[in-house]
């Protein structure tokens, strides 16, 4: 893969780490197990009905669904502190992209510096794949006193600090769309880049653009589609619409996997619907917002509480079958085929 060796010294270790993390299904052994790990997974922030805080009460059920779908990676937006949860993830042969936020009220965040305590505590845990700094912060200079340079300075310092503690796990950042020259300059020591890409159902178009400007490896840290149509369009009816999500996911995943040799993986947004995001957490609301999201298929409107490939009760949506088919290469039978 172009740019597989990230940096001389640490880069060789990081590249070797990805190769060592070969896909290891719990019940099945295939020749694919000996291949370098390619991330196939989901963004995971489970919040129960009526609540606004993350909870792992359903971790066993969730992991079983993920394994059945052929997933090997979970991406979080805040570190998992519960050792028993990390242990369960590792037992399933899965890995975690550990997200560190800038200001998470001192919970292993960049602002307080407590993220380094987490790195030191968990760097030897089998579940850890890599450390990921921020989540499309390039869209939010207002979080950094109106100056995005403040974020990039924080990013640079955090990358260096983690490298000093951990010479094994790669350090990433999740960037919104293609980084500009300032981002690349300040993130020169980032080992692997995550890209959040919402370009209708064509996120893979960024691959050629990336190859034109960088030799470093990257992965799709967020891609996906919601299951609600704000308007009727593209042949899909207005309202809850699992067909629209399924069609979009089919195209998105197919095009990215077709160029698997040019990226390190894709993480779908998201595992479960999030009723906490746009209004009353006791019910599923229409609406919500996210910056730069006019590329959301197929209505250009990001309905934040409808992004799950399973609903909040863990009932698989139509898009779930699409994911299973692509990630396991096994066709899901329709009811009339059973």
pLDDT for res 288? 61
pLDDT, tens digit, for every residue of 111-170?
Answer: 999 999 999 999 999 999 999 999 999 999 999 999 999 999 999 999 999 999 999 999
Helix 115-122 crosses helix 148-165 at what angle (to 10 degrees)? 30
pLDDT at 16 exceeding the cut of 90: no
pLDDT for res 78? 97
pLDDT for res 109? 98
Is residue 33 a part of any domain in this protein? Answer: no
Is residue 30 a part of any domain in this protein? Answer: no
pLDDT, tens digit, for every residue of 31-69?
Answer: 334 346 899 999 999 999 999 999 999 999 999 999 999
- What separation in angstroms does the CA of 315 have from each of 73, 81, 276, 311? 20, 27, 18, 5
The residue whose two tokens read 């009220």 is 105
Mean pLDDT for 243-266 is 98
Q: Where are the alpha helices (DSSP H) in 123-241?
A: 148-165, 181-186, 206-213
For 4, phi then psi, to 5°, come to -60, -40
pLDDT for res 24? 45
Q: Is 288 helix (H, G, I), strand (E, B) or coil?
A: coil
The total of other beta-carbon atoms located within 10 Å of residue 303's CB is: 24
Reported as half-sphere exposure (CB side, CA atoms, 13 A), residue 224 has a value of 30
User: What's the Rg (C-alpha) of the chain?
Assistant: 19
Count of domains forming the chain: 1
End-to-end CA distance of the chain: 41
pLDDT at 8 exceeding the cut of 90: no
Is residue 233 a part of any domain in this protein? Answer: yes
Is residue 187 a part of any domain in this protein? Answer: yes
CATH number at residue 314: 3.20.20.80
pLDDT at 29 exceeding the cut of 50: no
**What are the beta bridge partners of residue 96?**
74, 128
State both tokens at 276.
């906490």
The residue whose two tokens read 């096994």 is 330
The residue whose two tokens read 């609903």 is 311
Mean pLDDT for 288-306 is 79
Q: Which of 4-8, 166-170, 209-213, 317-321 has the lowest mean pLDDT?
A: 4-8
pLDDT at 295 exceeding the cut of 80: yes
Alpha-carbon 18 to chain mean position: 16
Q: Is 54 helix (H, G, I), strand (E, B) or coil?
A: strand
Q: What is the domain range of residue 329?
A: 39-333
Reported as half-sphere exposure (CB side, CA atoms, 13 A), residue 181 has a value of 0
pLDDT for res 329? 87
pLDDT at 171 exceeding the cut of 80: yes
pLDDT, tens digit, for every residue of 68-110?
Answer: 999 999 999 999 999 999 999 999 999 999 999 999 999 999 9
pLDDT at 4 exceeding the cut of 60: no
pLDDT confidence tier of residue 289, bands split at 50, 70 and 90: low
Alpha-carbon 228 to chain mean position: 21
State both tokens at 294.
């006019």
pLDDT for res 294? 72
pLDDT for res 287? 74
Is residue 314 a part of any domain in this protein? Answer: yes
Mean pLDDT for 236-261 is 97
Q: Is 151 helix (H, G, I), strand (E, B) or coil?
A: helix
Burial 78-94 (b: 16+ CB within 10 A, else e): bbbeeeebbebbeebbb
Burial 117-145 (b: 16+ CB within 10 A, else e): ebbeebeeeebbbbbbbbbbbbbeeeebe
Mean pLDDT, the chain, rounded, equals 89
CA–CA dist 296, 223 (Å, integer): 10
pLDDT for res 180? 98
Is residue 6 a part of any domain in this protein? Answer: no
CA–CA dist 12, 98 (Å, integer): 21
Q: Is 73 helix (H, G, I), strand (E, B) or coil?
A: strand
Q: Where are the alpha helices (DSSP H) in 21-93?
A: 59-68, 83-91
pLDDT for res 36? 65
Is residue 5 a part of any domain in this protein? Answer: no
Is residue 246 a part of any domain in this protein? Answer: yes
pLDDT for res 335? 44
pLDDT for res 9? 42
pLDDT confidence tier of residue 279, bands split at 50, 70 and 90: confident
CA–CA dist 184, 218 (Å, integer): 13
Mean pLDDT for 253-278 is 96
Beta strands in 81-121 (DSSP E): 95-100
Q: Is the peptide bond before 240 cis (omega within 30 degrees of 0)?
A: no
pLDDT, tens digit, for every residue of 190-243?
Answer: 999 999 999 999 999 999 999 999 999 999 999 999 999 988 999 999 999 999
């Amino acid at each position: 893969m172009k740019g597989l060796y990230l940096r001389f010294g640490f880069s060789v270790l990081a590249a070797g780490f990805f190769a060592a993390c070969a896909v290891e299904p719990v019940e099945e052994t295939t020749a694919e197990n000996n291949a370098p790990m390619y991330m196939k997974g989901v963004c995971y922030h489970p919040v129960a009905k009526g609540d606004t805080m993350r909870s792992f009460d359903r971790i066993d059920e969730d992991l079983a669904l993920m394994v059945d779908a052929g997933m090997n990676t979970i991406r979080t937006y805040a570190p998992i502190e519960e050792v028993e949860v990390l242990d369960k993830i590792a037992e399933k042969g899965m890995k975690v992209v550990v997200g560190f936020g800038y200001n998470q009220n001192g919970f292993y965040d960049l602002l307080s510096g407590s993220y380094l305590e987490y790195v030191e505590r968990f760097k030897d845990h089998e579940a850890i794949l890599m450390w990921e700094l921020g989540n499309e912060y390039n869209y939010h200079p207002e979080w950094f006193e109106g100056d995005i340079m403040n974020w990039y300075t924080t990013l640079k310092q955090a990358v260096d600090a983690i490298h000093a503690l951990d010479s094994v796990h790669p350090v990433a950042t999740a960037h919104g769309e293609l980084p500009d020259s300032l981002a690349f300059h300040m993130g020169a020591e980032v080992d692997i880049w995550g890209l959040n890409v919402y370009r209708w159902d064509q996120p893979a178009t960024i691959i050629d653009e990336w190859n034109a400007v960088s030799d470093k490896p990257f992965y799709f840290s967020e891609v996906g589609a919601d299951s609600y149509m704000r308007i009727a369009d593209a042949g899909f009816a207005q309202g809850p619409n699992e067909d629209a999500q399924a069609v979009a996911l089919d195209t998105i995943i197919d095009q990215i996997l077709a160029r698997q040799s040019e990226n390190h993986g894709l993480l779908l947004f998201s595992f479960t619907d999030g009723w906490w995001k746009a209004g009353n957490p006791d019910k599923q609301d229409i609406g919500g917002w996210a910056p730069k999201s006019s590329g959301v298929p197929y209505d250009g409107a990001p309905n934040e509480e409808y992004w799950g490939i399973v609903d909040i009760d863990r009932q698989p949506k139509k898009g779930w079958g699409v994911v299973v088919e692509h990630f396991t290469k096994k066709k899901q039978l329709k009811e009339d085929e059973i």
